Every structure is written in C-alpha cells, then in structure tokens.
Structure 1
Amino acid sequence: MAQELAYLKESASQTAGPYVHIGLAPGAAGFEIYQQELGHDITGPNAEGERIRVEGRVIDGMGAPIKDVLIEVWQANADGHYAHPEGGGPVEDGFRGWGRVISDFESGAWAFETVKPGQTRGRNVGTQAPHLNLWIVARGINIGLNTRMYFGDETAANASDPVLNLIEWEHRRATLIVERTEEDGMPVYRFDIRLQGENETVFFDV
C-alpha cells in the first residue's frame, strides 16, 4: 500500500469558486434546503454580555470589494469560554460560538450580530485579549485564510496579547484592531479585510 501511495501525484489546486455557496450557504445560492441556514445564530438567545454588530468588506489587491466571500467566525462567550469540552468553562444554553456569513453579491458587504467575547486562556500562550477568529474563502483564494479581529477599546488587553505581540511591526498589528462606533444604539465594529497591497491584513498559518 505504501508503495502505491508513493506513486500518487498531488492533485491540482483551484480556487473556491462560486460553488462554495451551494455547499456551505445554499440559501444564498437559491437552494431552499434548510429551514434555517446553518451558522446564522452564533450566540443563541441566552448569551450574556454586550450585543454588538461586526461588519466590513474583503478587499482585493486593486482596492475592489470581493463579492462572493464566505466567512466563518469562532469566538468565546463574554466569560471567555468556548463551546467545547476544553473551552475553559461553561457556556450558555444555545451558545455555539460559531457562525457563517456571506457577502452581499452586489456590494461585497458582510455583517453579523453577536456578543462581545471575553479574554480567553490560550494553549501554552497565556491570557489572550478578546478577539474573533475568522476564516475567509472566495473565488481567487486557493487556501482559506485565517485572521483575527481585536477590539480597539481593549487597549490594555491588546497590549499584552501573546498573539498580537508575535507581530513585529506595530503598523501590521494595527490591521487586526478595529475601533468602536455606534449605530441605532448598538456598538458596531467595522473590519475591512485587505488581501494584498497597502495595509494588507495579517493572516496566520494555522
């Protein structure tokens, strides 16, 4: 068997393409398969903490928004616990800490509502500042990109975050930190993800 595997060649790579919505967000592609699209409810109705809205665009190297983006988000609850047996502690009933959002096919804008996460305990890296973990796929991207979004109003926590401090240059760390605004009484954080060019967002090899 090992000898047979040695003769197998690597498959050709290709970008995600438009089919990604059919498989991962069929409702957006016009296929009414589920009563509720998977990944729309990140926190559930019982989650404690501050309700926030996160919005933005994914921008290519020419400065144009990409209009067929799919983003997955993982996060802790307001106490810094993940919905996982080793997530650091209990979470509220219905809290998944995971969601999926797609961009608007016309404007490229995407958005979701959630609760602001708390500080988390990282594996072998100490306490981490509140953050969202994001995974991005779209046409033109060969391999899904991983990044993080940090909160600009968590200055002290950000300054000691072990992952942010792995990024050597301050102007590169700044691509992951977004400022707080308010709209209709709800805190809003805008995170524009730049794939290339000036102020390219930091991506992680995970």
Structure 2
Amino acid sequence: MVQPLNDRLMESPSQTAGPYVHIGCMPTHAGNAGAYAEEIGTSPIEDGCAGEIITIKGEVFDGTGWALRDAMMESWQPDAAGKFPGQDGADPKVSGFCRFAADGTTGEFTLRTVKPGPVPMRGGGMQAPHISVWVVARGINTGLQTRIYFEDEDNSNDPLLKRIEQRPRVDTLIAKKEADGVYRFNIVLQGKDETVFLDL
C-alpha cells in the first residue's frame, strides 16, 4: 500500500532570508550568471540624468558588531527635483529603484545614484531629501524598512524625523559626507546604535 503524500512529506521550517534571497533576486551576484539577460534594479539611474551623482557606502552590522556579508537591500527614491517616476515632469532617466548587496568578502555595500530632492507632501510642507531602504539578511524573518537622509541637507522640518522621540537616534538615519559626492551610511540591526526602522 502506498502511503498518502501528505503523510510522507513534512512541512519545511520557516527560513530567514540568509543567502537564499540572492539566488532568486540577484542570481548573478549569487554565482548564477546568465539566469536573466539583465537583473532587475541594477541601477536607479541612467547616464544623462539631471542632478548630482553620489555614492553611498556602508555596512550592515548585526547585534555582535559583525558586518553581514549576505545582506541584500532595495532602495526607492525620487529624482533630483523630488519627483517619482510617473509624476508630471519626473526625470525619465531615474527609475528610482535599485537592488544591491553587501560584498561577500568585505560586507560593504555601494549605491551609486542621484542625490534626491525634497519631496512635497500632500497637505503642504516638504520631506527632506531621502532614500527609502529595505534590508534582508540572515536572521531577519521580515524585511526591515529604514531611510537614508543626508547631513549636508536641512533635515530640521522633516515630518518623519520630527516624530522620533529619542532625538539622539535621529543620527542613525543620517548619511555622513566623506568626500565630494561620497557618503557613509551604516545600518545596525541591534544594540546601542540600532538604526531606526519603520513599521510600514
């Protein structure tokens, strides 16, 4: 007698993203070059886009201070005028979306993009220039949402930053300028310097 299938197969345990997320989302990065003619989100900009081209470098640290070498991130942002794709007057050479990963040896990630402009709010006022970031890696069951702001911009009236009651933690969302067009932004998953994450 053949045992019913549902008696032979057991449910797999839930998994954190770990290295597996790269296989489906970034196969070339995972060592499976050629799975797609071109991977989705390799750059948020095309040559000739308007605005200042910047590079953001950083690492994702776990609670022990270890830089994760399997972290993958996705970013979403407006163009240099603060407009998102599909809005009237948006720069057609800025898709706003990028998918990138930490270096498997050093743990450092690099995002080359255009510096975003301030974003108008529906009820009036402006959001300070920022980039939204989604992070997955080992030990993370659900992707984490955060933002990158810039220390050389006026962030004083940004509505999200003003809602953070523990004022010293605002600094965890600010990219520090290292050189012309180069910023440093580290993400800390746990501990004293934990990055502010958003419940979206």
* TM-score (normalizing by structure 2): 0.89
Read off the aligned partner of 1:109 and give its amino acid letter.
Answer: E
1:54 counterpart residue number: 56
For the residue of structure 2 that corresponds to 1:40, the secondary structure is coil
- Change beyond 3 A, Cα 1:165–1:12: farther
Question: Counterpart in 1 of 2:108?
Answer: 109
Alignment of 1:95 onto 2:89: no
- Structure 1 residues without counterparts, runs of 5 or longer: 1-10
Counterpart check, 1:27 vs 2:28: yes
What is the aligned residue count? 188
- RMSD, aligned α-carbons: 1.6
In structure 2, the CA distance between the partners of 1:199 and 1:123, relative to structure 1 (3 Å rule), is farther
Larger proportion of helix: 1
1:178 aligns with 2:172: no
Q: Match of 1:15, SS?
A: coil
Q: Which residue in 1 is equivalent to 2:43?
A: 41
How far the C-alpha of 1:12 sits from its partner, in A, is 6.3
Match of 1:133 in 2: 132
* Distance in structure 1 (CA, Å) of the matches to 2:14 and 2:37: 34
Q: Distance in 1 between matches of 2:128 and 2:191?
A: 27
Query: Any residues of structure 2 matched to 1:6-17 within 5 Å, and which?
Result: 13-17=14-18
What is the match of residue 7 of structure 2?
A: none
What TM-score comes out, normalization by structure 1 length? Answer: 0.86
Give the direction of change, closer, same or farther, for the CA distance of 1:61–1:123 in structure 2 (3 Å limit).
Answer: farther
Which residue pairs with 1:8 in the alignment? none
CA distance in 1, matches of 2:144, 2:82: 24
CA distance in 1: counterparts of 2:100 and 2:23, whole angstroms: 13
Where does residue 81 of structure 1 map in the other structure? 83
Query: Structure 1: which amino acid aligns with 2:161?
Result: L
Preserved contact between residue 193 and residue 201 of structure 1 (Cα < 8 Å): yes
Question: Once the two structures are aligned, what percentage of the paired residues are identical?
Answer: 45
Q: CA deviation at 1:13?
A: 4.1
Contact 1:125 1:162 survives alignment (8 Å): no
CA offset digits 1:42-62 (Å, max 9, x no partner): 111131000100010000000
The answer for the alignment partner of 1:3 in structure 2 is: none
2: CA distance, partners of 1:205 / 1:151: 21
